């Protein structure tokens, strides 16, 4: 079909389904969302290691890393965060087309941005994982010293301090990192994937 912009979509002969069959597992986005310091990076790194050891093909996209490259032109104003998540959503969709279990670790504070990514995907391909820890707990952990800087007025619009975080309403999984250990959290996500026949 020719679009209004005269761009034509080319179908390949090797599909997502072919790739999934060859890999012997499904592909989907494991979308970690939560405050800075809640544990998104820690959990996605540990989960990826466990999945790799189980023979699952994975790729991980992480906020800080992507902002060094693909999204180095974006800041933290609401419009920039919207664009950040839109691009990451599109990249993640390609990764899922490539047959990979794709792990993403972005604050993604706006519900409509997360819902946009969900809308790009087919049923079951977007697994929203709300990584919960209170602002107080994240501020105590402060692994990068950013809360301290935000409180000192050296960072404006810091999520949870003077920029909003909209909690997921019906995430597929909630991980409370104030009560669960890293290992328990990883096992909970792997159990979900097995129960729902992703692998």
Ligand X SMILES: Nc1ncnc2c1ncn2[C@@H]1O[C@H](COP(=O)(O)OS(=O)(=O)O)[C@@H](OP(=O)(O)O)[C@H]1O
**Contacting residues for 97 by C-beta, under 8 A, at least 6 apart:** 16, 19, 27
Q: Is 3 annotated as a binding residue?
A: no
Rule CB under 6 A: choose which of 25, 26, 40, 132 binds ligand ADP: 40
Number of CB atoms found within 10 A of residue 33's CB: 27
84 binds, among ligand ADP, ligand X, none (CB under 5 to 8 A by kind): ligand X
159 binding ligand ADP? (CB under 6 A): no
Q: Could you give the CA distance from residue 170 to residue 125 in angstroms, rounded to a whole number?
A: 15
Residue 124 interacts with ligand ADP (CB under 6 A): yes or no? no
Asked if 81 is part of the footprint of ligand X (rule: CB under 6 A), the reply reads yes
Question: Is-catalytic flag, 72?
Answer: no
Q: Which is nearer to ligand X, 23 or 82 (CB)?
A: 82
Question: Which of 104, 100, 106, 19 has the alpha carbon at shortest distance from 58?
Answer: 100
Are 129 and 173 within 8 A, CB to CB?
A: yes
Say which of 44, 92, 108, 185 is annotated catalytic. Answer: 108
Q: Contacts by 145-148 with C-beta closer than 8 Å and gap 24+?
A: 146/36, 146/37, 147/36, 147/37
Is 171 a binder of ligand X (CB under 6 A)? Answer: no
Candidates 28, 30, 34, 56; binder of ligand ADP (CB under 6 A) is: 34
Question: Which positions touch ligand X (CB under 6 A)?
Answer: 36-37, 41, 63-64, 67, 76, 81, 84-85, 106-109, 144, 146, 155, 157-159, 163
């Amino acid at each position: 079909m020719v679009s209004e912009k005269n761009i034509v979509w080319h179908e390949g002969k090797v599909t997502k389904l072919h790739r999934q069959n060859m890999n012997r597992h499904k592909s989907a986005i494991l979308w970690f969302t939560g405050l800075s310091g809640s544990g998104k990076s820690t959990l996605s790194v540990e989960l990826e290691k466990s999945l790799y050891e189980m023979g699952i093909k994975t790729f991980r996209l992480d906020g800080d890393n992507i902002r060094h490259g693909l999204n180095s032109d974006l800041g933290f104003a609401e419009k920039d965060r919207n664009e950040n998540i839109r691009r990451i959503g599109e990249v993640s969709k390609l990764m899922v087309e490539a047959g990979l279990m794709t792990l993403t670790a972005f604050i993604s504070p706006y519900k409509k941005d997360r819902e946009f990514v969900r809308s790009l995907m087919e049923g079951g391909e977007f697994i929203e994982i709300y990584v919960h820890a209170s602002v107080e707990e994240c501020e105590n952990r402060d692994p990068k010293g950013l809360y301290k800087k935000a409180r000192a007025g050296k960072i404006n619009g810091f999520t949870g301090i003077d920029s909003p975080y909209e909690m997921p309403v019906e995430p597929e999984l909630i991980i409370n990192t104030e009560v669960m250990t890293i290992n328990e959290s990883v096992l909970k996500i792997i159990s979900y994937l097995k129960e729902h026949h992703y692998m």
